[in-house]
Amino acid sequence: MNYTIAQTIPEEDRENYITEDEAKEMIKVFNNHLRSLSFQTGELINSNENLVKKIERETERNNFLKSSIMETKQNIKLTESEIENKSSILSNLDTKTYSKCTNFFPSNEFIIPNSISFDRDSNISESEMKYINSILAYLLQLENTFIILQTQKELLRKNLEEKQDCYNTLETCVMCKEKYIRSKNHNNACDYHPGKLKYFSCRGCGVDAYYDCCIKCKSCSKGCKTSHHTS
C-alpha cells in the first residue's frame, strides 16, 4: 500500500505542516521573486556602468575645458608681457630719436614728417639721415606690432570670458527643475543636467527623451557638440 507524506503525519499534527501543493506554490513564488531580483540587479548594474561612463566622459570634458582656460590665461600673460616689452622699447626709441633730432634742429620746432628731405646746405650727413629714416621705419613697425598685439590680447580675453561664462552659467534642468552650474555639478545630481531634454519618441529606438539642442536621442546619440552633453 502506498502512502503520501501527509498520510504518515498524525492527524492532530497535520495543521502544523504545509501540503505538497502549498510547498510547490511557495517554491514557484520564490523562484519568480528570485528571477525578478536577478533581473533588477542586472538592470541596476547596467545603469551604474552607464552612469560611470557618463561621469568619466563629463570629467574628461571638464578637464579639457579647464586646461583650455588655463592655456588661454597663459597666452594672455605672454601677450601682455610682450606688449609691455614693445611699449618699453618704443618709449626708449621715442626719447632717443627726439634727442637726436633736437640736436639737428636746435629751435626745438622739429616734427617728424612722413618723409624727410634735406637741403644741400644742411649740416646733416648722409649717414645721419639714413639713421633717422631707419629709426622712423622701426618706430612704425613697432607701432603696427603694438596694435596687432593689443588686438590679439582682446581676442584672447574675449575667448576666455566666453569659456568661463559657459562653464559657470546657471542653468535649469527640465527634468528636476533644479538650477545647477556645470562646473559644480556633482555625481549624485540629476542624470539629465549635462543636457536639455524634451519628451517625444525617438524614431531610431523609440525612447521618449531626446535633446532639444540637436534633436538627438539620449540613448542612441553619441553626444552633441553644441551643448557638450553626453549621450
Would you list the domain boundaries of the chain? 19-168, 181-231
Per-residue confidence (pLDDT) for residue 202, from 0 to 100: 47
Instruction: State the pLDDT confidence band at 198, using cuts at 50, 70 and 90.
Output: very low
Per-residue confidence (pLDDT) for residue 108, from 0 to 100: 44
Per-residue confidence (pLDDT) for residue 134, from 0 to 100: 80
Instruction: State the pLDDT confidence band at 78, using cuts at 50, 70 and 90.
Output: confident
- Tell me the three state secondary structure of residue 113: coil
Least confident of 11-15, 106-110, 142-146, 207-211: 106-110
Q: What is the mean pLDDT of residues 9-36?
A: 76
Least confident of 27-36, 123-132, 184-193: 184-193
Per-residue confidence (pLDDT) for residue 159, from 0 to 100: 79
Show the DSSP H helices in the chain as ranges: 5-8, 20-104, 126-168
CB of 218 within 8 A of CB of 231?
A: yes
Distance CA 53, CA 51 (A): 5
CA–CA distances in Å: residue 30 to residues 17, 19, 35, 211: 18, 16, 9, 42
Residue 74 has pLDDT above 80, yes or no: yes
End-to-end CA distance of the chain: 70
CA–CA distances in Å: residue 162 to residues 68, 109, 167, 168: 12, 49, 9, 10
Per-residue confidence (pLDDT) for residue 105, from 0 to 100: 46
Distance CA 230, CA 220 (A): 11
**The C-alpha cell that represents 216 in the structure block:** 538627438
Q: What is the pTM of this model?
A: 0.32
Distance CA 2, CA 24 (A): 21
CA–CA distances in Å: residue 146 to residues 1, 123, 134, 152, 153: 114, 35, 18, 10, 10
For all residues of the chain together, what is the average pLDDT?
68
DSSP designation for 227:
T
- Tell me the three state secondary structure of residue 135: helix
Per-residue confidence (pLDDT) for residue 224, from 0 to 100: 54
Per-residue confidence (pLDDT) for residue 208, from 0 to 100: 46
Per-residue confidence (pLDDT) for residue 194, from 0 to 100: 53
CB of 202 within 8 A of CB of 187?
A: no
- What confidence tens digit (pLDDT) does each residue in 174-185 have? 667 777 776 666
